[in-house]
Structure 1
Amino acid sequence: MKKVLITLDYNPNSEKVVNMGYELAKLMNAEVCLFHVLAEVRYYGMQYEPFMGYEGYAFPVDFKIQEEFVKVAQDYLDKTKVHLKGENISTHLAEGDTAQKILDYAEEWNADLIVMGAHHHGALEKLFLGTVASSILEQTKIPVYMVPTGK
């Protein structure tokens, strides 16, 4: 195994995921990519004609907000890379459906291992939304190293 994809979100427990994933990668002398997915925020600023009595947003929309989200996310990845103080570390930022983007990039980058956190969600949230981790596990052909991040 020579390529380890470490997925990050904004959960403070991501530090545990990054540290454990990086330690594993060092043991394997593997290249690391720190990976984050931005949800598609462009839809939040959409302006529509009134329909079904709905007048749309009553506040001005800053169309540069997407650029700001990208800058913040890239800064997060860059600071995480500095935190690790290592070599053979790259970063990649994607936008869209989190599980699908992880699966797509892991395949594109030829990852040998995906490292991700296993956040604890309530039963109702799992029922209606599922989890990124379960989606990845159901669809991937690449081994996954799950780091438990709950209490």
Structure 2
Amino acid sequence: MYKHILVTVAYDEGHDASPSLRVARALADAGAQISLIHVMDPPPSFAISYLPDGWRDEMHDAIEADLTTLAGDWENTAVHVTEGDAAQQILDVAQMQGVDCIVIASHRPGTQGLFLGSTATKVVSRTQCAVHVVRRAT
């Protein structure tokens, strides 16, 4: 169905990327490119002075290695590790890479999610390509 799928991967507590990866496999055309993305949250400004030198590079490298492992045996894959606003980074990478479908996980929103909006909601409302939202168990 799709030639280039971007799969978002979060590392928050209790999150399992395998449902999103299964959906991406089911939606992918033969020979499709599958890209995995994780957006690192910037640290709070008060904490930066307490972090060891090189922490950002070490975290980036560890996440990149994990995404590569998650990609597993797919033949045509890429991984992206960025930092900043998650929704905007996902949208920017999708546009720059010519993605035709984004697979993103979402949990059932609580009160905070309803007022502030979630990353999935922002991506769905702003993207120019198809989006498949994978419902996470609550």
TM over 0.5, yes or no? yes
Secondary structure of 1:2 counterpart: strand
Larger radius of gyration: 1
Q: Which residue of 2 aligns with 1:137?
A: 124
For normalisation by structure 1, the TM-score amounts to 0.79
1:148 aligns with 2:138: no
Cα 1:63–1:126 change in 2 (3 A) is same
For normalisation by structure 2, the TM-score amounts to 0.85
Q: Residues 21-40 of structure 1 correspond to what in structure 2 (within 5 A)? A: 21-25=24-28, 28-29=29-30, 30-40=32-42
Q: Distance in 1 between matches of 2:44 and 2:54?
A: 10
Q: Residues 95-134 of structure 1 correspond to what in structure 2 (within 5 A)? A: 95-123=83-111, 125-134=112-121
Q: 1:62 aligns with which of 45, 48, 52?
A: 52
Name stretches of at least 5 consecutive residues in structure 1 with no aligned partner.
48-59
CA-based RMSD: 1.9
Q: Which has the higher strand share?
A: 2
Moved beyond 2 Å, runs of 4+: 41-47
Q: Which residue of 2 aligns with 1:50?
A: none
Aligned residues: 134
Secondary structure of 2:27 counterpart: helix
The 8 Å contact of residues 99 and 136 in structure 1, kept in 2 or not, is answered as: yes
Using the TM superposition, give the Cα deviation of residue 135 of structure 1 relative to its aligned residue in structure 2, in angstroms.
0.6
